[in-house]
Amino acid sequence: MNALRFFLEEGWASLRRNAAASVAAATALSAVLFVLLLFLLLSHNVLVLASRLEERKGLSVFLAPGVAPERVAEIEHQFRRFPEIESLRLIGKDEALRDVEADLNAEKLDEMLGGNPLPDAFLIRPIPEAMDAASLERLAREIEAYEGVEDVLYGERWVAALDRGLLVVRRGNLVVGLLAGLGIVLVLANTLRLLVLMRDDQLSVMQVIGATGAFLRAPFLAAGLILCLAGGLLSQLLLYAGFLASRGLMPGLRFLPVDWLLVFQGGVLAVGFVGSISTVEISLRRIERRGGGVGG
């Protein structure tokens, strides 16, 4: 614990010694991370919207007019044995008519139309694994082949469009995440290289008087992590400020959940740790190689 505190203090001291470069690095990091967070915020809201739409995914199976109740019960029994079907509900023609009447705010439509024209129907909700467009189409075709089934509707176009949209969002997240990771490493590499260069002379002395590699590296790793922590928190703060400011314009907008923010900050620290290790390693090896010149 003492050692950790010591290295953090040393890391903080080296950042303070080069305050201008450190502030510039933290600002650049927060700018890169802000772009990533903005994309994550967009993704989060698209996913929330998508999950609402997902709830509406399902099949409406219309039965042919005049199918006997025994056959309806038989079909229901057979559908319940489908592994892809999570639940189904039979909406009889009378219930369907009542729904239509309620929607249209009308009464006794069957009398006006000379009878109830609506068929019996099943509303089927597939399991989550079978919610994609291809699985829904396969299931619809299979159901359509049953005797007594007249039509199956599942909104092919919007399901396919939703799937495509979600794929784009996920890929976009990956690309922006990778670019942000690269950005973190580049900013850290430049800053830490500068910090190492500023202490170049002292580091070579410390090597000669017996400092271990770990002792030399640790303060710079600490400095890298402090920068990442500052950059990450600052970008979150900026995003939250932006969110509050734009909430009036986009009332449905949701902020990122806490677990997303924690994973984000953890990811930034992890990338920062790896980036810092490699930068410090390269810079220190350069000092070691340069070592001593020809002396007297």
> Does 19 interact with other proteins (rule: CB under 8 A)?
no
> Does 296 interact with other proteins (rule: CB under 8 A)?
yes
Query: HSE on the CB side for 207, CA within 13 Å?
Result: 17
> Does 114 interact with other proteins (rule: CB under 8 A)?
no
Beta strands at 85-91 and 59-63: parallel, antiparallel or unpaired? unpaired
Radius of gyration of the chain (CA): 31
Closest CB to other proteins among 205 and 250? 205
Residue list 182-201, contact with other proteins (CB under 8 A):
201
Q: How far apart are CA 88 and CA 124, in angstroms?
A: 4
> Does 2 interact with other proteins (rule: CB under 8 A)?
yes
> Does 211 interact with other proteins (rule: CB under 8 A)?
yes
104, 209, 245, 249: residue in contact with other proteins (rule CB under 8 A): 209
215, 240, 260, 273: residue in contact with other proteins (rule CB under 8 A): 215
46-54: long-range contacts at Cβ-Cβ below 8 A with a sequence spacing of 24 or more? Answer: 46/165, 46/166, 46/169, 47/166, 47/169, 48/254, 50/162, 50/165, 50/166, 53/158, 53/162, 54/131, 54/162
> Does 245 interact with other proteins (rule: CB under 8 A)?
no
Query: HSE on the CB side for 44, CA within 13 Å?
Result: 17
| Count of chain residues binding other proteins (CB under 8 A) | 23
> Does 104 interact with other proteins (rule: CB under 8 A)?
no
51, 78, 87, 202: residue in contact with other proteins (rule CB under 8 A): 202
Return the SS3 of 83: coil
* Residues at the interface with other proteins (CB under 8 A): 2-3, 6, 13, 17, 201-202, 205-213, 215, 291-296
